Structure 1
């Protein structure tokens, strides 16, 4: 599996995901709020425009309802007379234009305060054509709009009839300044929102960091915990949920520590207590063997029992070693010259049995490791190779330093390890499917090899094919850092 980069791990962390979710929620909320505020401002703008148009229409309605010229007292006989009085008495507001059409022609236009100088011809024709339409009620007039270079302009038309004379009173408003204010307000709001978003994100990062602090402590504690050190605990804070989580996790660690401690104590006590009876039994069998020297059948029985007791003694010793793996001083590192060390190993293992002992490769250099534990591991591998080979087979040793690691291997040309057994070959009390037919054993030898390698901070490797031989390798750091704690046992 390809290891993820630091950036990828950071993006996938719960801290980052909570922050991104929080930012997304803020962005969505702000966007919805901004759209809603914009719509409210537009609606209020249209409402003010409608009120301004209604005000002008009320003036015109009062004038036509009275029916007389306020200066002369004469009755209006044409719409032109009404328009003349209106334009003489009223001045359009800012961004407002007032137009009057009489008998289909433009009679008067007040465009001095309108943002544009002229209106489009199609719009003027539409205003003129509206002269004969029915007059709207007293409620707010319905607004229509037309496009200009400065935005949409709102307008309403009030048809007027005096006798046989018809006309159209038009009020149009182009709120360019107010639209500019709305746009300016939106720009300022966007800047404020961006600042709030940055500030809120920073606050959210700090808050989520504090909230997730117990989770990080739990993760770090779980990472540092091993069978050799179950004493670490998470500090119990004041926050209720965090304190409950820390207390629950610490209680679980207490139970695990008690279980592992009882397990180690049981193995150590059992190994210690069994040595005495085994030694006494073997001693008495030796005396009995001399007494029954003339009885071959009894001698065979005594030999069988003695062999089983010796095997039981080896199991006890192996269990004691595996129990000691968790001890902080299980590994005693020293400087080792590789060439001298491997030469000694070849001499030691070649005495195990008659085989074609060879040296594959020996690289120069020095390593810092436990000489005796490595020797024990290699002897176990060599003994395992002897059990799976014949006198004509090759058993070879090799050692080389590569990439800061010591690779120490034992290779044989024996029967090999079946593929179905390879995933479990280093487990305790696990043996090959047909191993019991070839030799007696407890299934702890390769477990000890793995425990020694892992205690050095390394690993074991296996390459094997049936009928093509097997290679077991220990790979351990050649220069472990100062103060490197022993690796937990397998």
Structure 2
């Protein structure tokens, strides 16, 4: 004994359970976070480089201003040339205005020590520059460098002062310096402000991306809800299409899929309804005869004959119903370029084998048409069979074809009783038989429905012209070239 396997979830268990809306927002936030991080890092680096450049230029400017002043070497207050470095430093520093964290030093030797005259910003005035620090700056052969102090990095640039009479030993040293950390603290404050602004932007972007993702995915959600509401009994839901973007294209494709599903289910329901409607009668007849069948051999033979006839009729009905169901399939037709004269001649030759009638090929279209020759032959022979059922031996039946203005037509004209006016509108419907009372009634009323289905599969149509008592002309009009051209009334039938 076998047990049914449980229905498995078709979704891949390895996939993410996170909703598409969250994933969209997550990717957007990831990209934006990376972008803002790069911006913050670049701004911090640029600001640090700007501080270094600002300090270096300020040091060079201070030293150059001192050199300019020293080259003049004149005390305007005393009206004489400056003779010593200490006086030079005092006069020069008295004319300077320092910037934030800036230091200007005049250093002269005093025995084994160094004496300094300095001008320093108030923010760093308590930072000691002791004898070791001064000695390291005046003895450094490079003339520039950095010192680490209690206030952080101190960057300096030195200018040597030679005595008025010349000589190789400097009589003093002018040092311009900058405490860099206060300036870098401003940079850090700027970066912190930028980080807070970036965080606020991320929060705002998260809200915007959540709303935007919801708007973008709204049509997808509509598709999902519409799919959830679909049942075999109700395939009428459609999604409104707005715009011309990818989401609109998705909605259009989904609606087209629903159209195809609705046609497929409609075809299946029609097939089941038709089969139940038409097969019920022969089944009832067979069951009735079998129930009443006696022991007489002649009676048994007659019942077998009747049952065989009904079974053959059921087989024909099933075949016709299956053919009608196939007309909805995309591979029902196998169109190709066909010579209309050759096809017309073949159809007329095959029609002669149906019954002893006076067959005439009254018109032949000249040229080629894009159609399925087997299906067109099937449709026209069905019309010929229909004409045979409404005529007698020796009666004339005319077959013709025409090709003009992009439309190819095939028709069959008989001299039977014609079609009553009340049957004209429904003559091509399923299970409809003419109500004129003449002719044989061996069919199920599906022949003309098959003709119309073949014509519509070609994007064409079936037509009928009749005058009661004077026969009828049945035919099909098809587009002669690929593409929908149904409904064109450009062909004049010989029988119309």
Length-normalised TM-score, structure 2: 0.51
Residue correspondence of structure 1 range 54-133 to structure 2 within 5 A: 54-72=60-78, 74-75=80-81, 79-90=85-96, 92-102=98-108, 106-110=114-118, 112-113=120-121, 115=124, 116-119=126-129, 123-130=133-140, 133=142
1:191 equivalenced with 2:192 (yes/no): no
Structure 2 match to 1:157: 158
Q: Residue 157 of structure 1 contacts residue 171 of structure 1 at CA under 8 Å; is this kept in 2?
A: yes
Deviation at 1:17, TM superposition (A): 0.8
1:26 equivalenced with 2:26 (yes/no): no
Q: How many pairs does the alignment contain?
A: 295
Structure 2 match to 1:277: 282
Deviation at 1:187, TM superposition (A): 3.2
CA distance in 1, matches of 2:292, 2:217: 70
Residue-by-residue CA offset, 1:88-132 (whole Å, 9 max, x unaligned): 4435433211223446953324254251421376643330213x5
Q: Residue 145 of structure 1 contacts residue 152 of structure 1 at CA under 8 Å; is this kept in 2?
A: yes
Q: Residue 63 of structure 2 contacts residue 158 of structure 2 at CA under 8 Å; is this kept in 1?
A: no
Length-normalised TM-score, structure 1: 0.51
Residue-by-residue CA offset, 1:132-168 (whole Å, 9 max, x unaligned): 55x7xxxxxx7x4333444433322233434223243
1:170 equivalenced with 2:175 (yes/no): yes
Q: Residue 114 of structure 2 contacts residue 135 of structure 2 at CA under 8 Å; is this kept in 1?
A: no
Kindly report the root-mean-square deviation, in angstroms, between the aligned alpha carbons of the 2 structures: 4.0
1:262 equivalenced with 2:262 (yes/no): no
Q: Which runs of 5+ in 2 are unaligned?
A: 1-6, 319-496
Residue-by-residue CA offset, 1:200-255 (whole Å, 9 max, x unaligned): 21112112211111111111111221222211111223464433322221122112
Structure 1 match to 2:229: 224
Q: Which runs of 5+ in 1 are unaligned?
A: 136-141, 317-490
Structure 2 match to 1:395: none
Distance 1:294 1:36, change over 3 A: closer
Distance 1:289 1:70, change over 3 A: farther
Residue-by-residue CA offset, 1:235-287 (whole Å, 9 max, x unaligned): 22346443332222112211210111111110221133222222222333455
1:208 equivalenced with 2:213 (yes/no): yes
Deviation at 1:53, TM superposition (A): 1.6
Give secondary structure in 1 for the equivalent of 2:162.
strand
Structure 2 match to 1:145: 146
CA distance in 1, matches of 2:133, 2:294: 130
Residue-by-residue CA offset, 1:51-77 (whole Å, 9 max, x unaligned): 322231122110232244444465556
Larger-Rg structure: 2
Distance 1:85 1:270, change over 3 A: same
